[in-house]
Structure 1
Amino acid sequence: MGEETREFRQHSPKSGFDPATGVYHSLARLGEEYKIPTRHDLDTATFVLSQFPHPDHAESRVALIDSATNQRVSYGQLRHSVRALASGLYHALGVRKGDVVFLLSPNSVLYPTICLAIFSLGAILSPANPINTESEIVKQVRDSGAKLIISAPGELHKLKQVTVSTIITSHSNQSKNESVSVEELIECCDPTELPKSELTQSDTAAILYSSGTTGTSKGVILTHSNFLSIMVLMKWTVNVTDSQNDVFLCFLPMFHIYGLAFFGLGLFCSGITVVVMQKFDLTAMLDAVKVHKVNNIPAVPPVILGLVKYCKPGSDLSSLKRVGSGAAPLSKELSEAFRRKFPWVELRQGYGLTETCGATSFFVSDEDARARAGSCGALLPSFCGKIVDVETVVGLGPCRRGELLIKSPTIMQGYLGNEEATRETIGEDGWLRTGDLGYFDEDGFLYVVDRIKELIKHNGYQVAPAELEALLLSHPNILDAAVIPLEDEEAGEIPMAYVVRATGSQLTEDQVIQFVAAQVAPYKKVRRVAFISAIPKSAAGKILRKQLVSLSQQQVVAKL
């Protein structure tokens, strides 16, 4: 403790930066009630269930609401379902510690039950994106080494080439599948017949698939210790932002670390009510906010953009108090446009990666968030950061751009079966290379500019696509935009913009080029523009630039 105190005194009290080491330290401290558990034999499910409301209140406190059917699940029912399902998985299906359970399903009120039941057995959760193709699903099943698959009935057709035992989440009126279902196991199995847990914090809890900081999809290994740290930090953020009585809306995919950490696990540590949508739809989201008096919406930049560009003045968002943004950079321009349209709503951006179990920085204060549009907040308690020169790896001080490195108790164990990629991402000293270009300001607030590998190299200059996209989105006749590199013999690469025009707009390529050119340095100018009906994005809201690069190459070939 004395060593930590001496170290803390060396930091700038304003930014947390230590010029001797080049390290930025979090200035936030957890109170005694939020200490990260040190008990070695504590697992994620045991911890989350221990945070549920007292049994006297568990039946009256609503944990989950299905936005489509209005089905409600109390905390008491959720606890019973987790234990009954764990019992069924253990006794009826032979799931044991270390077995990988592959989960293929859209959001549902059953999703948290399934995740917690898997964790409680010491089995390993590996969730998948249900919009993935059959070949992508098969690859993940094989790569993860799955021993059991839990699938929504509508996704079974993607598992024809898989020989792994499979059960379904629930039987629908249309489903004639004879497979046992999760719902049947919950109804039939004794929640008291559970084996004694022999888990430790160092055991693997989940394998989540991410693009990683570079390259193709990789299995990110997260331990119970990683999740326990995130659960404590989430409970802290809910309380310090006065969100504990809010009703949260979930349309973020629960297979993604953002959705899993929030809605599959974390919010239940604070007794929160979560309204679940199977997938995002703007009209359905607005209806859910009105009907269920939603106060808090963790979101992604495309949702923020949709609210700004498409939300009609008559929509009832009076209950809304907070909107969060993560998974991709939220520009200063879009932040300010949102606040102008919804001045009563707090907008707070955060930053995290699958490799950091979903968190790194966050805004505790709405005042700070408003004063620093474009920033993704300050480092969370127990986190450290570095900004290093992309070429020399030398540490940089405040307001200087470089690659962001992170160290925290939430850092992944590594990539499944890929020691080379793990070594490239996590150094021997424990620092995680994020692959993101960013900087800390003089007050210790983090700004993420772009992905380093997505920077456009134009005549030796580096151009950040996110900066140009933010500028394009400020145009009244542009609904969405993405910027990619286009190969050029003279300049190496030139910025090319794909633009979604507003309905009825006759916006031309030259008008877009001139709009950008009037506001940026010459090397940043957009040189080519193509119009498109929709920008391809991942479920987490990230622009799928590879698809656009491929499209641009096809268009160039077609013109030859």
Structure 2
Amino acid sequence: MATHIFCGIQRLSRVLDAGIRPLNSTLRRASTSKQTRIVTGSNNEKIIMSSCGDASYPETLIHEFVWNNSENYPNHIALECGINGKKYTFAQAKDATSYIGRSLRNMGLKTGDVIALVAPNFPDTILSCLGISSGGFIVTTINPMYTAEEMMIQLLRANAKAIITSTSIASTVFAAKRACLSHETPFIVIDDKIGSMPDGSIPFSDLITRGKSLPPVNLNRTCDDIVALPFSSGTTGLPKGVMLRHRNLVSNIMMVQTSIDVFQFPTSTFQDVIPAVLPFFHIYGMNALMLPRLSFGAKIITIPKFVPETFIDVLDKNKVTALFCVPPIILFLTASPLVKKQHFHHVHLILCGAAPLAETDVDRFYEKYNIDSQICEFRQGYGLTETSPVDFIGTGRKYSSIGQNIASCQVRLVDVMTKKDISTSGQTGELWVKGPHVMKGYLNDEDATKNTLTQDGWLKTGDIAYFDEDFDFYITDRLKELIKVKGFQVPPAELEALLRMHPDVEEAAVIGIPHERYGEVPKAFIVVKENKKPTEDDIKDFIKGKVSEYKQLRGGITFVDNIPKNPSGKILRAKMK
């Protein structure tokens, strides 16, 4: 398997005349033994190295990387719409992205211009993303569920020169465009058969049709040029444009592949089949699912938004081999009567990320469907938009752990109070990471960049973590979300996992609220299961004895209809406060 991967990389370097680059060229360890996992850096840092060693990647552009091996399986299906069944083979998809890039250039757009991609998950959304890259442009992905005002803020901050959207949301996007961009700004619309095409817009299909007769684009781009501009709040503040280079995306794909090595290129008898419900505008959907899986020849079945019946229909009609999830989807798979054991018959991997998932939730899934965990692996991952995104992937049965740092991802734990490095298992500190997958910085925001990136390239994640004796890492919580009770730190995620174990609780969120004597105390928001009516005392009694005295829910319990979350499943605690 590994030989197959690296043969493909070597072919890529010959085709593109680009060298294969080791990711950790400045700092190496002698072995993977525990004694040498922690290395002392030049400034006396205690750097925790990956047990997977170093990965390698070709110095090339992301769209060239994605299509490099596709000549070996040109007639395999690359993209399929889970709603209307529209399909593209790898040969068709590769050609289409080239034609899109040519057409965008023909509109007068220039190298390095930012193009806003505001669309649900469709095959044409993926083609747009790669077409933007092939034309020498930068894609800024925008949440299609945003209001026009929210879209307008990102369009202005990114300085967008064109927009690609779809008919179902075109009226909202057009309102944003009209309010902040010039009348001449190209407005390109994918026909998703919902809604109508606004006057003056350009049908997306025209880009492919016209591009066939246009000359190829002569790109003057390198792997250190910016290719993607997703927006993230980082550790604090309002959303900021995260400048990601071709190098960041390509290197992270190979860092993950080197670390887990569970995917293979298609053959005449096998192809990975993956439903893509994680939104492509989010970095998890973009560079943990969409681009890596296309690079290794998977068939991606797009799902515009999570609707239980649609998701189950895709599972029914396809031999799905891997699932990329967030915690709410795992909880749905466990609870829904629509889901059957047969849906997981071909699944070899379930990867969950973006928010914490308790070990009890994973155990409940395996127990319900009586699935062999050796055949269907479950892994939690961890990453950030700023790291393209993956930093850690779990192994084994430590489901509450984010696992170990992936190949070539260097890690430090820094004490929040003393600012000194931690090199002892069990002690918590702020997680810092370093590698070629780390962003260039925040767009037009020097202060935020300096607060997040050190001069020597360490990215401060804002997450509190510790590692155990096996160097498996555990996130205790966000630095800014920890509840301080009488000087003790209370991670909301710990209480939330316990609350979900209550037989009447569907979902839970915990925040800290001010308290005259204790500083802060935990308060819970509970969504109860259908036809269940637990009382506040029922919930409090359930927690008693399971956690320390200072972690009790002295802030009370409020029963609510839903828990506010962002598109990746992360609880919006600020909203709850």
State the TM-score, normalized to the length of structure 2: 0.88
CA distance in 2, matches of 1:312, 1:154: 28
Post-superposition shift, 1:292? Answer: 0.8
Q: Which residue number in structure 1 is paired with residue 401 of structure 2?
A: 375
Judge conservation of contact 2:81–2:303 (CA < 8 Å) in 1: yes
**The one of 526, 546, 549 aligned to 2:553:** 526
Residue 361 of structure 2 aligns to which amino acid in structure 1? L
CA distance in 2, matches of 1:359, 1:469: 24
Post-superposition shift, 1:307? Answer: 1.6
- Is 1:66 aligned to 2:81, yes or no? yes
Q: Which residue number in structure 2 is paired with residue 163 of structure 1?
A: 181
CA RMSD between the two structures: 2.2
Structure 2 stretches of 5 or more lacking a match? 1-21
Post-superposition shift, 1:319? Answer: 2.9
Q: Which residue number in structure 1 is paired with residue 148 of structure 2?
A: 134
Judge conservation of contact 2:170–2:197 (CA < 8 Å) in 1: no
DSSP-derived class of the 2:412 partner: strand
Q: Which residue number in structure 2 is paired with residue 189 of structure 1?
A: 211
- Is 1:79 aligned to 2:79, yes or no? no
DSSP-derived class of the 1:216 partner: coil
Residue 499 of structure 2 aligns to which amino acid in structure 1? L
DSSP-derived class of the 1:27 partner: coil
CA distance in 1, matches of 2:194, 2:410: 52
Q: Which residue number in structure 2 is paired with residue 546 of structure 1?
A: 574
- Is 1:319 aligned to 2:340, yes or no? no
CA distance in 1, matches of 2:460, 2:30: 26
CA distance in 1, matches of 2:574, 2:259: 35
DSSP-derived class of the 1:499 partner: strand
Q: What does 1:161-560 correspond to in 2, within 5 Å?
A: 161-164=179-182, 165=185, 166-170=187-191, 172=193, 174-178=195-199, 179-190=201-212, 193-236=215-258, 239-240=261-262, 245-312=271-338, 314=340, 316-317=342-343, 318-342=345-369, 343-344=371-372, 345-363=376-394, 368-370=395-397, 372-397=398-423, 398-527=425-554, 528-549=556-577
Residue 311 of structure 2 aligns to which amino acid in structure 1? M
Structure 1 stretches of 5 or more lacking a match? 550-560
Residue 496 of structure 1 aligns to which amino acid in structure 2? K
Residue 132 of structure 2 aligns to which amino acid in structure 1? I
Judge conservation of contact 2:168–2:195 (CA < 8 Å) in 1: no
Deviations 1:412-460 (A, max 9, x none): 0111111111111001121100000111222222211211101011111
CA distance in 2, matches of 1:66, 1:207: 25
DSSP-derived class of the 1:110 partner: helix
DSSP-derived class of the 1:351 partner: strand
CA distance in 2, matches of 1:7, 1:480: 44
CA distance in 2, matches of 1:381, 1:433: 19
CA distance in 1, matches of 2:213, 2:523: 58
CA distance in 2, matches of 1:438, 1:221: 26
Judge conservation of contact 1:326–1:349 (CA < 8 Å) in 2: yes
Deviations 1:228-284 (A, max 9, x none): 212323444574456863211100000000001134322111111111101112332
DSSP-derived class of the 1:369 partner: coil
CA distance in 2, matches of 1:8, 1:247: 37
Residue 188 of structure 2 aligns to which amino acid in structure 1? I
Post-superposition shift, 1:486? Answer: 1.4
Residue 63 of structure 1 aligns to which amino acid in structure 2? A
Judge conservation of contact 2:272–2:297 (CA < 8 Å) in 1: no
Residue 108 of structure 1 aligns to which amino acid in structure 2? F
CA distance in 1, matches of 2:493, 2:120: 29
Provide closer, same or farther for how the CA distance between residues 225 and 119 of structure 1 changes in structure 2, counting only shifts above 3 A: same
Percent same amino acid among aligned pairs?
A: 33
Post-superposition shift, 1:197? Answer: 1.0
Judge conservation of contact 2:66–2:295 (CA < 8 Å) in 1: yes
Q: Which residue number in structure 1 is paired with residue 38 of structure 2?
A: 17
Judge conservation of contact 1:84–1:185 (CA < 8 Å) in 2: yes
CA distance in 2, matches of 1:5, 1:359: 21
Q: Which residue number in structure 2 is paired with residue 556 of structure 1?
A: none
DSSP-derived class of the 1:405 partner: strand
- Is 1:96 aligned to 2:110, yes or no? yes
Residue 354 of structure 1 aligns to which amino acid in structure 2? T
Aligned residue pair count: 533
Post-superposition shift, 1:17? Answer: 2.1
Residue 126 of structure 1 aligns to which amino acid in structure 2? T
- Is 1:28 aligned to 2:61, yes or no? no
Post-superposition shift, 1:176? Answer: 4.3
DSSP-derived class of the 2:390 partner: coil
Q: Which residue number in structure 2 is paired with residue 51 of structure 1?
A: 69
Judge conservation of contact 1:48–1:269 (CA < 8 Å) in 2: yes
Provide closer, same or farther for how the CA distance between residues 326 and 243 of structure 1 changes in structure 2, counting only shifts above 3 A: farther
Residue 291 of structure 2 aligns to which amino acid in structure 1? L
CA distance in 2, matches of 1:7, 1:210: 32
CA distance in 2, matches of 1:313, 1:133: 33
